Amino acid sequence: MTGDEEDAPAESQTSAGGLPGLIIVNTGDGKGKTTAALGLAMRAVGNRFRVAVIQYFKGQWQPGEKKAAAYLPGLEFIPLGEGFTWTKTPAVHMAAMRATWAKTQEVIMAGQHDVVILDEINYALATTSIPVHEVFTVHDVVDLLRRRPPQMHVVLTGRYAKPEIIEIADLVTEMRLVKHPFDKGRRATRGIEF
């Protein structure tokens, strides 16, 4: 194998192993759900998997992970959200949810990625501040997961994972908040939280 072949994303590393893809859920009220998913993305890219990260709420700022993605062949970063639900009107968020859900279906069914991370989709399904259920429901998500290419791994992050998502998942991790610097008035730290 030449150096170029080592550095290029694999055509389909997961299909070579023949094992079915996993559904992985990172949920809970603690920090680290997206961070854990991005760590998995790093590991997957290091194994020459093709990875897509679709972000449901994040998208209006420039987090470190979005900047780092430019340096990682095989990692496609797709931030389509409009930020915190209280920063824009429900109509703006609904338009973003429609675009994000459409992109999610397109990316998963195209089968061009080995790993797809749906960042904050659990929270999108649970939020009541915008009527996401008018765009997609937990049943739509479960149906899409069932129809995905069989070797594709999908990671779903965000608080309040629905029981139906937990039921279909192969691996569920709940992050529990024990202590946070925000409790002492410290704002989010660049390079640590974004």
Q: pLDDT (tens digit, 9 = 90+) per residue, 169-179?
A: 999 999 998 88
Q: Which of 15-24, 51-60, 185-194 has the lowest mean pLDDT?
A: 185-194
The answer to whether the CB of 26 falls within 8 A of the CB of 37 is yes
Q: pLDDT (tens digit, 9 = 90+) per residue, 84-107?
A: 665 677 788 899 999 999 999 999
pLDDT higher than 90, residue 116: yes
Alpha-carbon distance of 71 to 63, in angstroms, equals: 14
The answer to whether the CB of 115 falls within 8 A of the CB of 44 is yes
pLDDT higher than 90, residue 109: yes
The token pair at 29 is 């009220």
Residue-level pLDDT at 66:
81
Residue-level pLDDT at 103:
98
Residue-level pLDDT at 89:
77
Q: Walk me through the domains of the chain, giving residue ranges and CATH numbers.
A: 16-177 (3.40.50.300)
pLDDT higher than 80, residue 16: no
Query: 4 vs 94, which has greater pLDDT?
Result: 94
Reported as a pLDDT band with limits 50, 70 and 90, residue 192 is low
